[in-house]
Amino acid sequence: MSGLLAIRGAEVRFGAVAALRGLDLEVGAGEVVGLLGHNGAGKTTTMKLALGLLRPQAGSVRLLGVEPAGPEGRRARARVGFLPENVSFYDSLSGREVLRYLARLKGRPPAEADRLLEQVGLAHAADRRVRTWSKGMRQRLGLAQALLGRPALLLLDEPTVGLDPMATAELYATIGRLRSEGVGVVLCSHVLAGIERHIDRCVIVGHGRVLAAGTLEELRARARLPVRIRARGRWREPPAAALGEGEGVVARRLNGHQIELEVAPERKLAVLRALAAEPGVEDLDVRPPGLETLYAHFDAMLHRGPQDGRGEAP
């Protein structure tokens, strides 16, 4: 099945508050989609919608081909793993008891729970009560329960919160392995730094709607934000070519032997060539706009008005 999750034009209101205003999200097999946005942007509401815990007032939701809030939704959920934000468990139970309990709710044998505890590196603490566990360990238990029953689709809401860098790297390694097995993943996060290497596509949400969606390259192309180029070298006066301002280039001197240029994407190659030809230049460093910059850009476009709300540059 290619379309694991398809949300189209979903609108969700809580009383007078519009949580989602026409949200679209599609996830296919073997695809990691980042659902990115500030707190309150509608990410968790989208997760609930996908799981059938909410019905949209308008639009449609299909989870593994069925309506998740309908009678068939229950069977679809058997093939979905969900890690809620700030996951919590029964503190008086041990990790093994928690996971075996959840395994039974998913119709899986207890041996699978034990195997997953090993897989997420919790086997050594499995028989201690969850109350005594660290936040990172609970988060890993949360990941383990999401993996019960070999899900076709994983919905992970802020999975890296509370994880140390090592555990974060392990989490992304696990996600990468699952992707190669054909599992579709939705990765919700408000922490944008560092996530771009691990996702195939981003859907940037804000105020209940999609601000921009696509691969990082597509978003960059659409935003047409300047590329930052740093040049280091030995010169008395900065190279003339580098300071050829105007025509989409803004230069700034960082210190005696470093300058930074903000270059329009279409001027990037020309400026790089010119810099490379300068005798004093020893090193060049090119930094395309990161997700945080892109997010700020698309968010600002929304506030500027609906006419450029689609993220197209003027």
Residues that bind another protein (CB under 8 A): 14, 48, 51, 53-54, 74-75, 77-78, 80, 82, 84, 86-90, 92-93, 101-102, 104-107, 145
Q: CB within 8 A of 190, min separation 6: which ones? A: 36, 37, 38, 39, 41, 43, 158
Least spacing, CB of residue 246 vs another protein, in Å:
55
**Looking at this protein, which amino acid is placed at residue 63?**
L
Q: Identify the CA nearest to 186 among candidates 165, 210, 147, 158.
A: 158
If the CB atoms of residues 138 and 268 are measured against another protein, the closer one turns out to be 138
If the CB atoms of residues 146 and 225 are measured against another protein, the closer one turns out to be 146
Least spacing, CB of residue 75 vs another protein, in Å:
7
If the CB atoms of residues 101 and 235 are measured against another protein, the closer one turns out to be 101
Q: Degrees (nearest 5) of the Cα angle 27, 196, 250?
A: 130
If the CB atoms of residues 86 and 134 are measured against another protein, the closer one turns out to be 86
> Nearest 5°: phi and psi at 48?
-65, -35
> Nearest 5°: phi and psi at 187?
-115, 105
CA atoms within 13 A on the CB side of 136: 12
Cα separation, 242 vs 119, whole angstroms: 52
Cα separation, 295 vs 292, whole angstroms: 5
- DSSP label at residue 240: T
Least spacing, CB of residue 50 vs another protein, in Å:
10
Least spacing, CB of residue 305 vs another protein, in Å:
33
Least spacing, CB of residue 40 vs another protein, in Å:
17
What torsion do the CA atoms of 55, 56, 62, 68 make, to the nearest 10 degrees? 0
Q: Degrees (nearest 5) of the Cα angle 245, 247, 248?
A: 85
Least spacing, CB of residue 149 vs another protein, in Å:
9
